[in-house]
Amino acid sequence: MSSLSDRGLALVTGGAGFIATNVADRLLRDGWRVRLYDNLSRPGVDRNVTWLRAAHAHRGPSAIELVKADIRDAAAVDRAVIGVDRVFHFAAQVAVTTSLTRPMLDFDVNARGTLNLLEAVRGLHHPPPLLFTSTNKVYGHLEDLRLRLTGKRYEPEDAEIALNGVGESQPLNFHSPYGCSKGAADQYVLDYARTFGLPAAVFRMSCIYGPHQCGTEDQGWVAHFTRQVLQRAPLTLYGDGCQVRDALFIDDLVEAMLLALEQMDRISGQAFNIGGGPLRTTSLLELLDTLSELVDWRPTYHLERWRRADQRYYVSDTSRFQDATGWSPRVTLAEGLSRLAGWLVDPRKVPMNDNAQVAS
């Protein structure tokens, strides 16, 4: 058995997903017990649970609890929050394309599911701190952002945004059913902090990538691109390939999340843009260039028309969260891609987070 002290119980909804697996791994290494809440509906995520149990078998069977249930099941959510000391809410329908074809499902999972969780937490005698992952899609298509095409990327004409990225002062403009459902959930979390005093905060996330990501064309595109290139498989790019995102490696995100929970008394009721920021940007075409250098092979691709709700440019201004907590990203895009590629080649070898602190 491990000598790690028991620091408490963390509830992780969507607990078998990409971000959740990395958060749970860090929590377990820091001495927490975790309750993973997931309906296991996404193909392949059950392997993440298997990996977590194997990696932390030394903690004993009580360290990881899997609750196989749906976030839309209010009674199951009520039971899941009992006895927890912190909550990470990741359970979601995550694809814009799915929201366009199944908007009712998208709403039920993202909006109603989040309300189920908020009500369950509100009903506790001592509500634990809660962190919710929202999306940059709450800012819509950013039609008012004037862009110029420079080489293989779009760049904003506004000098301040070009330097710092998009800040939280950007007006909300929900676009696509996914943007509406996540935006509604985003606002419910902030209002429950304001109206009911729940200790809760929101991360409006940009592009996150790293080990344990089952990336597709619709979501997790950095992992999808990397896997396709490693397999020498062709790619489909929607639009012209010059659209720009800021990419944040998962270890840096986990560190931000732990800081947010630790400092919830100071940041509760606030939303923060979280991503790699201006120093970690890439266009789709530039990412292919970077990956071709990594594997010494030039990937092939073809272009399809723009998809609804695609943003040509989104880069997070993370200064508000940095000022509040002292957090800043550490992993460069080149290093992160190398680590992701290493995991895709051999999933058994997952590098330890250099920031991890193991309780004694």
Which residues have a catalytic role annotated?
178
Instruction: Tell me if 340 sits within 8 A of 226, measured CB to CB.
Output: yes
Cα 243-248-249 angle, rounded to 5 deg: 130
Q: Give 183-240 as a 3 state SS string.
A: HHHHHHHHHHHHHHCCCEEEEEECEEECCCCCCCCCCCHHHHHHHHHHCCCCEEEECC
The letter for the amino acid at 99 is S
Instruction: Tell me if 248 sits within 8 A of 276, measured CB to CB.
Output: yes
Distance of CA 38 to the CA centre of its chain: 16
Residue with tokens 């909006």, as numbered in its chain: 111
Contacts of residue 301, defined as CB under 8 A and 6 or more positions apart, other chains included, come to 234, 235, 236, 237, 241, 288
